[in-house]
Structure 1
Amino acid sequence: MSAVAARFADGRLHLQHGPIDLIVEAFGVPDEVERAYAQAIDRFGDILPTLVGELTVLRRPMGQAYPLLQGPVARRMAEAVWPHRARYITPMAAVAGAVADEMLQALVRGRTLAKAYVNDGGDIAIHLTPGQSLRAGIVAQALDGVALLTHERPVRGIATSGRGGRSFSLGIAESVTVLAATAAAADAGATMIANEVNADHSAIERRPARLLDPDSDLGELPVTVAVGDLPPEIVEAALDRGLTEARRLRLCGLIDSAALSLEGQWRIETGGTPLALSEAG
């Protein structure tokens, strides 16, 4: 299957190749935007084949030896997950964010754009020039809140993890949205925090990842497949565990902010980026 590029009616660029599905939008003088889109299209075709060539290494858990990787996206993935290597994590935990980062770099290189973003299934890399801002939605079951991203803040990436998403989760969070310096860093951080939103209860169903997907990088680890009604104290304790992890990552400088959701309850950890939840949230 070849890479496909198309335009939405509103002018946004849509790039799709196998499991990679990107929405790209740039803001600026029309000629600059068109040149930026052409650069993104030119870069996109090589992303998936290069990743596939290194999948064996990318699916291995991080250990004490830094993995030797060739492709720029693979290297971004390894860099993002390396700080979390004390716990189980593979470079695949940052794949969507790393693709978004790489494509954003291709989009803006040499161009004069006011702002831009690359959205890889909800993991978003962001470009902002002075005076520019971007509102990003925080979604669990619906649009539950908004993060205001500005040029002055260090956030250039946002990612969401949790059960029910595109990837398996060891935890039970409905969603964990993380803001960080890059989309890859946000992707890895969201994975780690979502894994910590966890509990032991009969209403939680888990299965080994390999039974759901033989190619999963999680192998025999039990991943969450369903969560029934949980007692309020279990929900609170699970969210508090996730919040503790989010605070640790923020204090270590690995993330800026996080919003955690489970059964309609929320926890927020912020280093300064405004996060606003709706009244329902």
Structure 2
Amino acid sequence: MAIPGPSRVEPAIQRLHGDRLHLQHGPIDVVLRAWGSPGDIRAAEAAAAARFRGILPELASELPLLRQPVSAVPRGAVARRMHAACLSFADGGTFVTPMAAVAGAVADALLAEMRAAAPGLARAFVNDGGDIAVFAGEGLSIGMVADPTPGFGFDGALRLHARDGIGGIATSGRHGRSFSLGIADAVTVLARDAATADAAATLVANAVDCGSPAISRMPAEALDPDSDLGPRLVTTDVGVLTADEIAAALEAGAARAEAWCRSGLIRAAAIRLCGHHRLAGAPLHLLTEPTA
């Protein structure tokens, strides 16, 4: 997600079918839902809407710092969530800026406001462009996709409960809203919060890679002068890969995901590439199995 400079455009808030609320401000596009008593739902939605109004201006005010590799702690509450999530992964020379966790951090912040305003909520989610903060309560089903391109639909789903200790689900890859250094179609990560899941999904997706003439790349700054990736080469197209190239790329991503699962940073990951997949970490309670 690219965050623009200061804008005078007011946030848009509208009701969607299925008892969902849509919040949109610049590039931040959120859909949320809460379950509980009518009073709790009203309180949760009002708290989320009130907090949402200030998030984009806060982030825009600190953009130069947020686009740099993780270093100084920013001032804003959401920016601090971004920084803390990415700091956990900024070791061993891994390149990461706080922007890797921006969508997840926004989702976490809104969910926290909802739960504080309405402690009696049965369950809730905040979906910021596919990066989702969840309070699963008695149970919540989440759809999964191998290719998030519009029209492809879901290819699986998983069921979460509060006892699972999972508060965030994020998906990244070369088809998403942000640039990727890797070639994954999709990497979905489950973690304790959405900011952590967002950062991890980005970095695992970057690791899903191999050397192949079928892969086309360009400097990120040539595609977007404001990209936090600067001159780093990002994937623009993936042609036909050999079976060995697919296996090598999947194994590279799975190795990174498994290491972070063992360290406790994330709970699980599902990696998809060219109709093939790898799972890492805790077994996922899938309602439908992957197709490959």
Asked if these proteins are the same fold (TM beyond 0.5), I'd say yes
Q: Match of 1:5, as an amino acid?
A: I
Deviation of 1:278 (Å): 3.4
Match of 2:170 in 1: 159
- Could you tell me which runs of 5 or more consecutive residues in structure 2 were left unpaired when the two chains were aligned: 1-8, 148-152
Q: Match of 2:79, as an amino acid?
A: A
CA RMSD after TM alignment: 1.2
Deviation of 1:164 (Å): 1.3
Match of 1:99 in 2: 106
Match of 2:83 in 1: 78
Please give the per-residue CA displacement for 1:105-146, whole angstroms capped at 9, x wherever unaligned: 1111131100000000000001133xx111111112241221
Which whole-Å CA distance do the structure 2 matches of 1:181 and 1:71 have between them? 21
Which whole-Å CA distance do the structure 2 matches of 1:162 and 1:33 have between them? 33
TM alignment of 1:1-281, pairs within 5 A: 1-62=9-70, 66-86=71-91, 87-111=94-118, 112-129=120-137, 132-141=138-147, 142-275=153-286, 278=289, 280-281=291-292
Please give the per-residue CA displacement for 1:63-90, whole angstroms capped at 9, x wherever unaligned: xxx4221111000000000011121000
Contact 2:47 2:117 in 1 (8 A): no
**Structure 1 runs of 4+ with >3 Å offset:** 275-279
Q: Match of 2:115, as an amino acid?
A: V
Contact 1:138 1:147 in 2 (8 A): yes
- Could you tell me which runs of 5 or more consecutive residues in structure 1 were left unpaired when the two chains were aligned: none
Q: Could you tell me the TM-score, scaled by structure 2's length? A: 0.92
Please give the per-residue CA displacement for 1:6-48, whole angstroms capped at 9, x wherever unaligned: 1013321100000000001000111210111111111110000
Q: Match of 1:85, as an amino acid?
A: A
Please give the per-residue CA displacement for 1:134-175, whole angstroms capped at 9, x wherever unaligned: 111111224122121111111110000000100000000000
Contact 1:194 1:242 in 2 (8 A): yes
SS of alignment partner, residue 40 of structure 1: helix
Which whole-Å CA distance do the structure 2 matches of 1:95 and 1:186 have between them? 11
Which whole-Å CA distance do the structure 2 matches of 1:147 and 1:255 have between them? 16
- 242 and 73 in structure 1: CA distance in 2 versus 1, 3 angstrom threshold: same
Which whole-Å CA distance do the structure 2 matches of 1:94 and 1:198 have between them? 21
Which whole-Å CA distance do the structure 2 matches of 1:118 and 1:15 have between them? 10
Contact 1:149 1:273 in 2 (8 A): no
SS of alignment partner, residue 155 of structure 2: strand
Contact 1:256 1:272 in 2 (8 A): no
Q: Could you tell me the TM-score, scaled by structure 1's length? A: 0.95
Contact 2:262 2:281 in 1 (8 A): no
Contact 2:270 2:278 in 1 (8 A): yes
